[in-house]
Amino acid sequence: MRLKLNTISTSVLMFALMLSSVSFAVAKPDEGMFTPDQISQLGLAKKGLKIKPSDIYNPNGVSLSDAVIRLSIGCTAEFVSPDGLILTNHHCGFDALVSASTPQKDYVETGYKADSRAQELPAKGYSIFMTQRVEDVTAKINKGTENLTGDALAQTLKKNTEELQQQEQAKAPKGSMIRIQALNSGFFYYLYQTMQIKDVRVVYAPPRNIGVFGGDPDNFEWTRHTGDFTFLRAYVAPDGTFAEYSPNNIPYKPKKHLTINIGGLKEGDFVFAMGYPGGTTRYRESQSIEYAENVNFPFLAAYLQARSDALGKVGETSEEKRIKYQSDIANLDNYRKVYRGSPIALKRADAISKRRAEEAKFAAWVMANPQRQAKYGEVLPSLKRLSAETFPMAQRDVILQRLPNPTLTPVFKQVYDAILAVQQGKNLTQGEKQEKLTEIQTAYKDREPILEREMLKFFLKMMADLPAGQKFAAAENLFNRFEGKERRLAEETFAESIAEKGNFDTPEEIIKLYDMSFNDLQKKYPNIVEFITALGQERNTLTARTAKFSGDIDRLRLLYQQGMAEMEGTRPYPDANSTLRFTYGYIKGYSPREAVRYSPFTTLKGVIEKDTGAEPFDVPQKLKDLQRTRNFGRFGAGDSVPVNFLATTDIIGGNSGSPVLNAYGEQVGLVFDGNYEGLGNDFYYDENYGRTIAVDIRYVLFVTEKFGNAEWILNEMTIKGGTPAKAKRASAN
C-alpha cells in the first residue's frame, strides 16, 4: 500500500468522503489518530512509553514532533540529521526521480546516489511543511453560537473563524501560516501554524528492485520485503529564509532531528508513530457505509483500473511517456487495490449491520428522555430521508458526476462546453472568444488522445452495464440496438470520433463551434449533440441534488456525533485531515484466516527466497552476495538483516514516511504500507486485522551503506543501539 495521499487519490476521494462513512464506536485498543494536544491524556506510561508525553509534543519547547514534517506531495517525512537530512519512502520520492529521468537515465530503475552535497538532485515541485503549533480552538469558535441555528449559526462560526485566524496570523512569526479548520462537520475546530521550505533535493534512493521490490503483487500483502525508503535534504537561503532552489542555498538546520536506534525489536514491544494521515470518516451513518460498499468503492476500483490501463497504452507509444506516467500508474494501481479490497473488508466486518445496531441503541436512548428527543429526535429520520432523496440513482450518478473530466477527457470537455453554450443561446464577444481560445489551448497542451479515447470507452461501457432502472437514456438511444462486441465497437467509434478522428484536433476547430447555430451542430454532429445535451441536463439535476445533500448533511452529522458522544460518555479523536497526528501500538503479527498465523518480521533471506530474476521479484546480485557472505556490518540480526515488520499502530494514506519510534522516542522503522486484511480503515479500526507495515531502520541503513556505498550519509546521523537500558541513557543525553 502506498500510504501517500497524492493528487490522484485526493481527486478520487473528494466525492467519496462526502458520501461514504463508518461506524461510530468507542475507541478500541491501539485505535486512534490523536491530535498532539491529546497525547498527554492517553495514559501512555501504563501502556509502555518510557519518555514523557511532553518529549513527544511540547508547544512551549522543542520535542520529537518538531522533527516530523509533511511533504507537499502528500507524504510524511522526518529530519534525521542536524543538517536537514530527511528520511521518507521511496514512493514518496518517486515523482522527483521521474521528473529528473530521461530515456537514457531512468532513476527509478537505477536509483540515485549523490556522492556529495553538491551532487544532490533538485526534487522538482517538492516542498516541506513544518508544524509549529496545534491548538484546539473549538470553544473559541463556538463562542456566542449556543442558541443559534441555520444561517445565523453559519455566519457566526464564519465570523469567529476569520477573526481568530486574523488575530493569530498577526502574532505569528514571519513566514508562518495560520489556518483554522473545521473537523468532523464542526465537532472540532483546530488551529494550525506551519512553515514551508521550498528547496528539497534527493540524496539517495535505492534502485527499483529494492525500493519497489514485489511491486503490485506484494502491495498490501504480508509477508513483505520492500526497501521503501529515500533520503532527501532541505535547503534554505544563506540568510536562513525559505527560498526557492538556488545553488547558493545551504542545508537547513532543524530544531530537532530523530535519533536512530539499531538495537532491534521483538514482538510485543511498544511503538508509536507520528505523521500526517490524509483522511478518515469514522463517525457517520449506516446509509453511507451501504453507499460506499455497494456503489462507490466498486465503481472507483473499475475507474482506477481503466485509467491505469489507458496510461499503460500511452506509455507503449514511447519510452519517454512510459517514464513520464509510471508514477501515475503506480498510484492508480495502489488505490485501485484499496477500493477493490475495502468492500470485502466492510462485508467481513458486517459494518452496515453493526452500525444499524448502534443507531437502534441511539434511537432508544434518545426516546428515553424528552430533552434528548427535542435535541436529537430528528437526526436518524432526517439522515435516512436525506439518503433516500440523494441516492435513488446512485450507480448512474457516480458515473455522470465524473464526465466530462478536464484532465482525462479534455477534448470532450471543450466540446461539451461549446455545445451547451450554443444550446443556451450564449454569444461570445471577440474578447471572450480570445479568452476561450487561450483556455482551450491550455487544455490541449498535454492531452493524450489514447487516454481520452479509452476513458470515454470506459464511461460508455459503465453506462451500458447500469441496472434497468438507472439507464442513461441518451446512451441507450445511441447504442441499445447493438449487443455485446458490436455495442463495444459502436462505443469505441463514438469515442474515437471525439478523441482521435480529426473532428476536434485543434483549439481552432473547437472555437468554431461557438459560431454555429444549434441546428447546424445537430446536423453535423447528431450523436454527439444528443449525448451531450442529455448529459448536461442530467448533471444539472445531479448538481442540485448534491447541493441539497451538502447543505443539510453537516448539521445532521454534527448532531449525530454530539449525540453519540454524549450517549457513550466519550470525546472522540478527530477524523484525520492531513495534519500532525500521533498513534501508538505494539509489534504484533496476526491471523488473516483460519489455521494461518503471520509472524511480525521478515529478513533479507526472505527477499532472496522470492527471487525470480524477473520484475518485480528480481533481487540485485549485490544483495544476494551480501547475504551469502553475511556482510551485514552492524545491521545484522542472527543470520540475516531485518527488512520489514508489523505493528498495530492506526494509520491511513498520508502516513507514508512516518517514523516508527520505540518506547524511548528513537526511530526504529519507517511506515510505508498497510495490510490487505486491514483495508476499510478509512471507516473503522479492526484490532484483529489492521496492521502497519514498516521498513526496519536497520535495512534502510544496511542498504544505504553496504549496498549503496553511501556511508557518508550515515555519518551525519545520530545512530545508537544496544539494550533498551543503553538506549534510555543515550536518549537522555
CB neighbour list of residue 99: distance below 8 Å, 6 or more residues apart: 123, 124, 125
For residue 554, the model assigns a pLDDT of: 87
**Continuous segment of H or E residues that includes residue 584:** strand 581-586
| Cα gap 471→421, rounded to integer Å | 26
For residue 4, the model assigns a pLDDT of: 65
**pTM for this one?**
0.88
Please report which confidence band the pLDDT of residue 28 belongs to, taking 50, 70 and 90 as the band edges: low
Task: Give start-end residues of each CATH 2.40.10.120 domain in the chain.
Answer: 25-154+194-279+579-731
- Nine-digit cell string for 499: 478523441
**Continuous segment of H or E residues that includes residue 523:** helix 518-524
For residue 619, the model assigns a pLDDT of: 98
Class of the CATH-defined domain 25-154+194-279+579-731: mainly beta
* Helix, coil or strand: residue 690: coil
| Cα gap 290→356, rounded to integer Å | 11
Please report which confidence band the pLDDT of residue 334 belongs to, taking 50, 70 and 90 as the band edges: confident
Cα 659 to the chain's mean position, in Å? 17
Q: With CA atoms as reference, report the closest residue to 223 among 729, 642, 732.
A: 642
- Nine-digit cell string for 207: 534502485
For residue 570, the model assigns a pLDDT of: 86
Please report which confidence band the pLDDT of residue 22 belongs to, taking 50, 70 and 90 as the band edges: very low
- Nine-digit cell string for 138: 473549538
- pLDDT-above-70 percentage for the chain: 94
By the 8 A CB rule, do 456 and 409 touch?
yes
Lowest mean per-residue pLDDT among 4-18, 46-60, 245-259, 473-487: 4-18
Ordered alpha helix ranges (H), 189-296: 208-211, 215-218, 286-291
pLDDT by residue (tens digit) across 167-203? 999 999 988 999 999 999 899 999 999 999 999 999 9
The residues annotated as belonging to the active site are 91, 228, 656
By the 8 A CB rule, do 71 and 7 touch?
no
pLDDT by residue (tens digit) across 633-646? 999 999 999 999 99
Contacts 24+ apart (CB under 8 A), 627-633: 631/706, 632/702, 632/706, 633/702, 633/705, 633/706
Please report which confidence band the pLDDT of residue 27 belongs to, taking 50, 70 and 90 as the band edges: low
For residue 15, the model assigns a pLDDT of: 38
| Cα gap 455→303, rounded to integer Å | 9
pLDDT by residue (tens digit) across 440-469? 999 999 899 999 999 999 999 999 999 999
* Helix, coil or strand: residue 399: helix
Whole-Å CA distances, 417 to 19, 404, 551? 27, 10, 27
By the 8 A CB rule, do 101 and 107 touch?
yes
Placement of cell 452495464 in the chain: 465
For residue 30, the model assigns a pLDDT of: 78
How many of the other CB atoms lie within 10 Å of CB of 211?
A: 24
Please report which confidence band the pLDDT of residue 149 belongs to, taking 50, 70 and 90 as the band edges: confident
Kindly tell me if the per-residue pLDDT of 510 is higher than 80. Answer: yes
Q: Can you tell me the mean pLDDT for 225-233?
A: 98
| Cα gap 673→694, rounded to integer Å | 7
* Helix, coil or strand: residue 186: helix
| Cα gap 43→500, rounded to integer Å | 63
